[in-house]
Amino acid sequence: MIAKPGEEAERPSTFADQVYGRILSSIATGAFPTGSKLPSEKLLGERFGVSRPVVRDALSRLQRDGLIESRKGSGSFVLSSPPEDLSAAADMAQIARYQRYQEFRLVVEGAAAALAAERRTSAQLARIVDAHNKFIAEIENGQFLWQSDREVHIAIAEAAGNEFFVESLEGPEVRLSDFMTVSLKLTSSRSPQRGSLVAREHSNIVDAIRGRDAVAARIAMEFHLVQARRRMLDKTLSP
Amino acid sequence: MIAKPGEEAERPSTFADQVYGRILSSIATGAFPTGSKLPSEKLLGERFGVSRPVVRDALSRLQRDGLIESRKGSGSFVLSSPPEDLSAAADMAQIARYQRYQEFRLVVEGAAAALAAERRTSAQLARIVDAHNKFIAEIENGQFLWQSDREVHIAIAEAAGNEFFVESLEGPEVRLSDFMTVSLKLTSSRSPQRGSLVAREHSNIVDAIRGRDAVAARIAMEFHLVQARRRMLDKTLSP
Amino acid sequence: MIAKPGEEAERPSTFADQVYGRILSSIATGAFPTGSKLPSEKLLGERFGVSRPVVRDALSRLQRDGLIESRKGSGSFVLSSPPEDLSAAADMAQIARYQRYQEFRLVVEGAAAALAAERRTSAQLARIVDAHNKFIAEIENGQFLWQSDREVHIAIAEAAGNEFFVESLEGPEVRLSDFMTVSLKLTSSRSPQRGSLVAREHSNIVDAIRGRDAVAARIAMEFHLVQARRRMLDKTLSP
Amino acid sequence: MIAKPGEEAERPSTFADQVYGRILSSIATGAFPTGSKLPSEKLLGERFGVSRPVVRDALSRLQRDGLIESRKGSGSFVLSSPPEDLSAAADMAQIARYQRYQEFRLVVEGAAAALAAERRTSAQLARIVDAHNKFIAEIENGQFLWQSDREVHIAIAEAAGNEFFVESLEGPEVRLSDFMTVSLKLTSSRSPQRGSLVAREHSNIVDAIRGRDAVAARIAMEFHLVQARRRMLDKTLSP
């Protein structure tokens, strides 16, 4: 039983996170195998001791993450299963929080990349390119260091010429670095090709900022972050 | 003389903020009257002891704020003058920082309003409506309290169901409240009608969130924040 | 009975348009008064001879238009009533099509306004300002001509420097002018103040394009079109 | 000499298209090799008989397309060279028009993909998936038919539930099919891997629409169209 009476309206996300984590876990272990139908909202609510809106919230996020599909009138079905090593890398309930952080980053870093394309000085471009090249060199050496990934993102946010974008990514409560540790641990443990995929996505962003194309820079950054969110949960993602 | 050698590449925004503040001040005092042509980038650079990119950055922000107009090949002209009480309400160099905070809020709160329209529970809508009604009641009583304005914005950000949006607005370094104090001090000292203008803009946002129209909610919020940014510097803004 | 067997999957919007128009009509005549609860989706489907997805589509558009509110688990309630002169000005089923055209315009004209702010030449700005001033002069003379409103919008779309934006607004099948006739007929018949409201919204767009502020230009245009959509159906809209 | 007196203000894009096409051609043939500095705006204006704003417009589009880089104070440099077969596939001056059509599509199809994710019926999803699978099957057989590519895009636009999106892509003056012929001719003639690249980008869009993730659907579509624009001109793009 997760919910306590009277608390639900206050912090609905917390309960939904736990429900999200439990269903995710059940899918990962095969208790809810690919293709199977999930129990009804009502039954899930009873099992986890939460109200139906909380269940619905968790299900709609699982759908957004590509793990289940809701069909009007017939219920929810498992579309794909997350990697088995997911639970080794992260507390399952933390995954929901990570996905929300990615949602926030998409908004902030997408806008920052567009501003960087418009306003970046030559010195700021040089710093972005340096960070990008360092990351590529490490990937080619078989390494995959979150510090270098972070450096690319921070250099871009700084080129936006607005300190609030950087501050929102690296405040004392929000830690880009914490989340990147989880993400890269997963990414690097899975396949060496994932590193080059990340580097290629970075290249698209850097090219657009170099070409002063604000629209392309925003899109390339948003695409990179959507893909990162999916890579977290998708074991079949090529390459 | 503002710039010190070697620092410029490090913190260009700081110098540009000061140049922005000084030109703004000269426009407010009438040293650069409406309709007049500003000195060239080269001369401004010499006067303030900064490089031309720094001057250019300050000028392009003054243009964005509707104070000057740059005409290709003929220089920059003063379009309108900020309210004279501006310097009483705020350190002139802080205005540039305030405007950047508004730029950041536009991105974060616009996205949060859209998510709130999609995800808000009935309880969250009720909290938004309560805060909105409280603000309206105060305006009708001739008051204009930043705490109540803030409450409306925070209630909306919370309804987005993603704690990172709220955290980015009210961290220990970023203070929605600090900036609102400046903004409302100016707004309230100017005309009682400005309060109702703000309340009407809030109504548009609340209506869209009630109607679950994510696009209209984002637009109404973004419009509100663009207008707030302009109200800060525009003495002629009706009503 | 609206739907014919087998056709529904092909052209769902047509049936939903008619259902939308009928419910709108019932609200306007007072058959479904403000505050009352609408019949269930099932009953509405039976009454109009359409499937529940078609009813659901119509209801969600009525909600987006601010006319009804759907409450999870308890049904849909009438929030406000459209102006009584609506049926005199337009075929009720056409209103749904008009609202969709506004949705399309929002996307196309919002993007065009942003591009116009970035790329407009002095000659293009002069044409926009001329059209804007002509419209204002007419409003002050108590006139309200859709041709002048259209001219402002076309001048902005042309300043985007991409002919496809203008073509998409004024093709042989899509007629900005047709829709504007309806919209302005309604607007002008209602109150003289509505004209000045439209002119003030145009001013926001023109100012942002003059100041080369792409973000503010997009937002001001989007806001104008969202408001126009609401003005169509909202009799209480001040002033 | 391109410009005729008095016409420039009327149709600036036409002259800029021709200047764009000529510079592009000079880069493709090696007359302006990679790494070289372009003649000044003034000299280019004299050579082509157009004014400097027209040259500037053409240069800024070449920069957006990743072919040149403008450095403040030192001029424009050739960054990369378009494929040599470009002139065989298309009239060089038409390329500029094609790129503008892609800019328009990005706006319209990005919004349509988001709406499709929100509103698509099961029947509409099935049609999208069918078109997508047909395209993949052809690619695997070594074919690459623009009709099948077009079918995927039209099926998505139709699922947006707003006929104006489809009409704007396939009106009598705007022809999605015309442009696709050029694009696919180039793509297919270059490398078989490009086909699978397009198919993979389509998969991202289809997955997001299936998962009802409007944000991811918009981004995946925008990313696909930005990449298509770059593929047109970039010979080094890895498959």
List the single residue in D104, D119, D165 with the smallest CB-CB distance to C165.
D104
Q: Do D104 and C162 touch (CB under 8 A)?
A: yes
List the single residue in B101, B121, B164 with the smallest CB-CB distance to A164.
B101
Q: How confident is the model at residue A170 (pLDDT cuts 50, 70, 90)?
A: confident
Judge whether D62 and D16 are in contact, CB under 8 Å. Answer: no
Beta-carbon contacts of residue A141 (< 8 Å; ≥ 6 apart) = none
Cα B24 to Cα B17: distance, rounded to the nearest angstrom: 10
Task: Collapse the DSSP code of A75 into the 3-class scheme (helix H, G, I; strand E, B; otherwise coil) and give the result.
Answer: strand
What are the domain boundaries of chain C? Answer: 12-78, 94-233
Tell me the C-alpha to C-alpha distance, in Å, between residue C237 and each of B102, B183, B204, C29, C146: 28, 27, 11, 19, 20
Q: Which pairs from C23-28 meet CB under 8 Å and 24+ separation?
A: C23/C58, C23/C59, C23/C62, C24/C62, C24/C67, C24/C82, C24/C86, C24/C92, C24/C95, C24/C233, C25/C87, C25/C92, C27/C67, C27/C68, C27/C78, C27/C81, C27/C82, C28/C81, C28/C82, C28/C83, C28/C84, C28/C86, C28/C87
Interface list for chain D against chain A, based on CB atoms closer than 8 Å: 60, 63-66, 69-72, 106, 122, 200, 207, 210-213, 215-216, 219-220, 222-223, 226, 238
List the single residue in A64, A200, A210 with the smallest CB-CB distance to D69.
A210
Mean pLDDT of A89-118: 87
Residue D121 pLDDT greater than 60, yes or no: yes
Mean pLDDT of D137-148: 84
Judge whether C194 and C239 are in contact, CB under 8 Å. Answer: yes
* Interface test mutation site (partner A, options B13, B59, B163, B174, max chain A beta carbons within 10 A): B163
Residue C124 pLDDT greater than 60, yes or no: yes
Q: Do C69 and B219 touch (CB under 8 A)?
A: no
Cα B215 to Cα B118: distance, rounded to the nearest angstrom: 10
- Is the ipTM above a cut-off of 0.95? no
Judge whether D19 and D2 are in contact, CB under 8 Å. Answer: yes
Q: How far is C27 from chain D (nearest CA, A)?
A: 24
Most trustworthy range by pLDDT among A103-107, B184-188, C137-141, D98-102: A103-107
SS3 content of chain D, % helix, strand, coil (to 5): 70, 5, 30
B12-78 and B97-233 share one fold? no
Q: How confident is the model at residue A202 (pLDDT cuts 50, 70, 90)?
A: very high
CATH architecture of D91-233: Up-down Bundle (1.20)
Provide, as residue numbers in chain D, all residues whose Cβ is less than 8 Å from the Cβ of A220. Answer: 223, 226
Cα A171 to Cα C137: distance, rounded to the nearest angstrom: 52
Interface list for chain B against chain C, based on CB atoms closer than 8 Å: 60, 63-66, 69-72, 106, 122, 200, 207, 210-213, 215-216, 219-220, 222-223, 226, 238
Q: Which residues pair with A69 in a beta bridge?
A: A77
Provide, as residue numbers in chain D, all residues whose Cβ is less than 8 Å from the Cβ of C12. Answer: 121, 161
Residue B142 pLDDT greater than 70, yes or no: yes
* Count of CB pairs separated by less than 8 Å, B with C: 59
> What is chain C's Cα-based Rg?
19
List the single residue in D9, D111, D121 with the smallest CB-CB distance to C12.
D121
Q: How confident is the model at residue D148 (pLDDT cuts 50, 70, 90)?
A: confident
Beta-carbon contacts of residue A5 (< 8 Å; ≥ 6 apart) = none
Cα C190 to Cα D24: distance, rounded to the nearest angstrom: 55
Residue C4 pLDDT greater than 70, yes or no: no
Chains contacting B (3 or more CB pairs within 8 Å): A, C
Cα B194 to Cα B239: distance, rounded to the nearest angstrom: 7
Q: Which residue has the tokens 């157009």?
A: D50
Mean pLDDT of C200-214: 94
What CATH code is assigned to B12-78? 1.10.10.10
Cα A32 to Cα A62: distance, rounded to the nearest angstrom: 13
Q: Which residue of C has its CA nearest to D101?
A: C164
Closest CA to A109 of A73, A157, A61, A65: A157
Higher pLDDT, D6 or A21: A21
Q: How confident is the model at residue D16 (pLDDT cuts 50, 70, 90)?
A: confident
DSSP A82-96: --TTHHHHS-HHHHH
Mean pLDDT of B24-44: 90
Q: What angle do CA B98, B100, B104 make, to 5 degrees?
A: 115
Q: How far is D140 from chain C (nearest CA, A)?
A: 30
Q: Which residues of C43-64 are buried (b: 16+ CB within 10 A; e: fewer)?
A: ebbeebebbebbbbbbbbbbbb
Residue C63 pLDDT greater than 70, yes or no: yes
Q: How far is A212 from chain D (nearest CA, A)?
A: 7
pLDDT of residue B9: 37
Higher pLDDT, C4 or B95: B95
Mean pLDDT of D153-178: 81
* Interface test mutation site (partner A, options B168, B169, B176, B218, max chain A beta carbons within 10 A): B168
Q: Do A63 and D219 touch (CB under 8 A)?
A: no
Mean pLDDT (chain B) is 82
φ, ψ for residue D71 (rounded to 5)? -110, 125
What is the per-residue pLDDT across A16-32, written as a single tens digit (0 to 9) for each?
Answer: 888 888 898 888 888 89
Q: Do C121 and D173 touch (CB under 8 A)?
A: no
* Other beta carbons less than 10 A from residue A120's beta carbon: 23
Most trustworthy range by pLDDT among A60-64, A143-147, D200-204: D200-204
List the single residue in B210, B212, B223 with the smallest CB-CB distance to C219.
B223
Q: Do D219 and A222 touch (CB under 8 A)?
A: yes
List the single residue in C106, C200, C210 with the smallest CB-CB distance to B69.
C210
Tell me the C-alpha to C-alpha distance, in Å, between residue A200 and each of A139, A143, A219, D1: 11, 15, 14, 42
Q: Do A104 and B161 touch (CB under 8 A)?
A: no
pLDDT of residue A79: 86
What is the per-residue pLDDT across B178-211, written as a single tens digit (0 to 9) for each?
Answer: 666 666 566 555 566 778 889 999 999 999 999 8
Q: How confident is the model at residue B147 (pLDDT cuts 50, 70, 90)?
A: confident
DSSP B170-228: S-SS--HHHHHHHHHHHHHHH-HHHHHHHHHHHHHHHHHHHTT-HHHHHHHHHHHHHHH
pLDDT of residue D7: 36
Q: How far is C147 from chain B (nearest CA, A)?
A: 26
Cα D157 to Cα D166: distance, rounded to the nearest angstrom: 6
Judge whether A116 and A125 are in contact, CB under 8 Å. Answer: no
Interface list for chain C against chain D, based on CB atoms closer than 8 Å: 9, 12-13, 53, 57, 100-101, 103-104, 107-108, 111, 119, 121, 123, 161-165, 167-168, 171-174
pLDDT of residue C144: 75
* Interface test mutation site (partner C, options D7, D54, D102, D107, max chain C beta carbons within 10 A): D107
Provide, as residue numbers in chain A, all residues whose Cβ is less than 8 Å from the Cβ of D207. Answer: 66
Q: Which residue of D has its CA nearest to C126?
A: D9
Q: Which residues of D83-119 are buried (b: 16+ CB within 10 A; e: fewer)?
A: beebbebbebbebbbbbbbbbbbbbbbbbbbbbbbbb
Provide, as residue numbers in chain B, all residues whose Cβ is less than 8 Å from the Cβ of C233. Answer: none
Judge whether A112 and A231 are in contact, CB under 8 Å. Answer: no
pLDDT of residue C187: 58
Cα A38 to Cα A45: distance, rounded to the nearest angstrom: 12
Q: Which residue of C has its CA nearest to B206?
A: C66
The tally of CA atoms less than 13 A away on the side-chain side of residue B211 is 27
Mean pLDDT (chain C) is 82
Cα D112 to Cα D128: distance, rounded to the nearest angstrom: 13
Q: How far is C66 from chain B (nearest CA, A)?
A: 6
Cα D29 to Cα A123: distance, rounded to the nearest angstrom: 33
* Other beta carbons less than 10 A from residue B79's beta carbon: 18
Q: Which residues pair with D163 in a beta bridge?
A: none
Helix A214-233 with A192-210: angle, nearest 10 deg = 160
Provide, as residue numbers in chain C, all residues whose Cβ is less than 8 Å from the Cβ of D167. Answer: 171, 173-174
Range of lowest pLDDT (B32-41, C167-176, D47-56): C167-176
Q: Does domain C94-233 have CATH number 1.20.120.530?
A: yes
pLDDT of residue B129: 98
Judge whether C99 and C232 are in contact, CB under 8 Å. Answer: yes
Helix C192-210 with C214-233: angle, nearest 10 deg = 160
Mean pLDDT of B162-169: 88
* Other beta carbons less than 10 A from residue C177's beta carbon: 13
Interface list for chain D against chain C, based on CB atoms closer than 8 Å: 9, 12-13, 53, 57, 100-101, 103-104, 107-108, 111, 119, 121, 123, 161-165, 167-168, 171-174
Residue C8 pLDDT greater than 50, yes or no: no
Cα B24 to Cα D56: distance, rounded to the nearest angstrom: 31
Q: How confident is the model at residue C172 (pLDDT cuts 50, 70, 90)?
A: low
Cα A92 to Cα C153: distance, rounded to the nearest angstrom: 52
List the single residue in C121, C168, C172 with the smallest CB-CB distance to D12.
C121
Helices (H), chain A: 12-29, 41-48, 52-64, 86-89, 92-119, 122-140, 146-159, 163-169, 176-190, 192-210, 214-233
Chains contacting C (3 or more CB pairs within 8 Å): B, D
Cα D214 to Cα D110: distance, rounded to the nearest angstrom: 10
Beta-carbon contacts of residue A133 (< 8 Å; ≥ 6 apart) = none
* Interface test mutation site (partner B, options C219, C222, C236, max chain B beta carbons within 10 A): C219
Q: What angle do CA B62, C108, D107 make, to 5 degrees?
A: 90
What is the per-residue pLDDT across A8-19, written as a single tens digit (0 to 9) for each?
Answer: 333 345 788 888
* Count of CB pairs separated by less than 8 Å, A with B: 69
Helix C92-119 with C12-29: angle, nearest 10 deg = 110
Q: How far is A181 from chain D (nearest CA, A)?
A: 24
* D213: its two tokens: 């993730």
pLDDT of residue D124: 94
Q: Which residue of B has its CA nearest to A99?
A: B162
> Exposure of B193 by Cβ count < 10 A (0-12 exposed, 13-18 middle, 19+ buried)?
exposed
Greatest Cα-to-Cα distance within chain C, rounded to the nearest angstrom: 59
**Per the CATH hierarchy, to which homologous superfamily does domain B97-233 belong?**
GntR ligand-binding domain-like (1.20.120.530)
* Interface test mutation site (partner D, options C94, C106, C107, C225, max chain D beta carbons within 10 A): C107
Q: Do D215 and A65 touch (CB under 8 A)?
A: no
Q: Do A69 and D210 touch (CB under 8 A)?
A: yes
pLDDT of residue B80: 83
Q: How confident is the model at residue A110 (pLDDT cuts 50, 70, 90)?
A: very high
Q: Which residue of A has its CA nearest to B103?
A: A162
